[in-house]
Amino acid sequence: MAKEKLESILPKPSLLPASKKLLGKALLFWFGERKRDLPWRKTRDPFAIWVSEIMLQQTQVATVIPYFERFLKSFPTVEALAAADEQEVLKHWQGLGYYRRARHMHQAAKMIIADYAGVFPDTPEALSCLPGLGRYTRNAVLSQAFDTRLPILEANTKRVLARLFALAHDVDSSLGNKFLWEAAEEILPERDIGEFNQAMMEVGSLVCTVTNPKCNSCPLSPFCIAKRSDLVTELPIKKKKVVVTQVQELATVLVNKKRILLGKRPVGQRWAGLWEVPHDTPEEGETEAKALGIISRKYASVESKRFREIGKVIHPVTRFKITVRVFMGEVSGKGASDYYEELAWVCLSDMEKYPKSSPQSKMIAMAVKALELKKEV
């Protein structure tokens, strides 16, 4: 479709008062009838809502539910989270990914205890001082916990608003983002803000989907410019997808007397505070054997006479697709490292006590299985 057609129908984010009232009424009625039964919707506790919002960032609802329930069972209050050891918090987060979220939550909980006497802040200004709370998260927590009149904007509501107002710009551009925040604020009702914001996200998740949107059952359909203009499937506009770079790595599972050597990743690195087996990208032209030897010496100061391949793990990280071939080798000595914060020789029975990233958990599971099979033989 020609850009001129989109540009010509680009409206300002405004609705007549009567239309705004009808939109809000239709959306809230639909939400009351169709909303999913989710645990964080059964509370107005700002701490619990905050936990859910952080977990839901870049993570599907079905995945979050059991993590949310386990997390609150162990850390039911901001005081409990602040008092917990970081390793314990990371262990509860294991499998959710993006571990910086957990570290920021832990830091923020400590700040709430120190700076606000344990009372969860109830203003955007106060929440903006805490790590890991951007505009969306602040507004989501405050609107749901305190019904504060603040708009929200995330992936689902971006799509809904872009279609509702037929936004003719990249939704992730500065211009598009500004327009969508204004649009989100424009349609806010005077009351039931938390319910309204959740309803907008629910419509985006269940009805106004990326592909095959269900316009005939959408409560916003009568107000949607994209539907009237037959532009639903062409909106929202997004920039071209980022080219994914393929990365090849080798990982070394170092074994001594049926114990596996794990290193604790240093502060400032991805997955800081988590445990892993040494891994790296080999230099161009290096033989497999030479690369494995370099990795084991560089990260653990040990050597193995023989490595055997036990599996492969493929995982995406932002714009990279990383393929890790996993090798296991017997070594002697305690090991030492200038890279890792700490090294630990871990028995198979204690492996679950050490928080690890999902790719590392898969690698170590391969090693445990290989060692158990070797024991049986």
Catalytic residue set = 53
- Using CA atoms in the order 135, 138, 144, 146, what is the torsion angle rounded to 10 degrees? -120
Distance CA 164, CA 92 (A): 39
Fill in the amino acid letter for 112. I
CA-CA distance, 207 to 195, in Å (whole number)? 17
Contacts of 317 (CB under 8 A, 6+ apart): 270
The SS3 of residue 151 is coil
**Helix, strand and coil in the chain, % to nearest 5:** 50, 15, 35
d(CA 187, CA 225): 14
Between strands 342-347 and 279-280, the pairing is unpaired
Comparing CA positions, the residue from 13, 23, 14 lying closest to residue 179 is 13
Q: b or e along 64-80 (b: 16 or more beta carbons within 10 Å of the residue's beta carbon)?
A: beebbeebbeebeebee
Helix (H) or strand (E) segment spanning residue 181: helix 174-186
Closest CA to 52 of 96, 115, 85: 96
User: 263: helix, coil or strand?
Assistant: strand
Tokens encoding 141: 């927590």
**Which regions of 96-177 does DSSP assign to beta strands (E)?**
none
* DSSP reduced 3-state for 316: strand
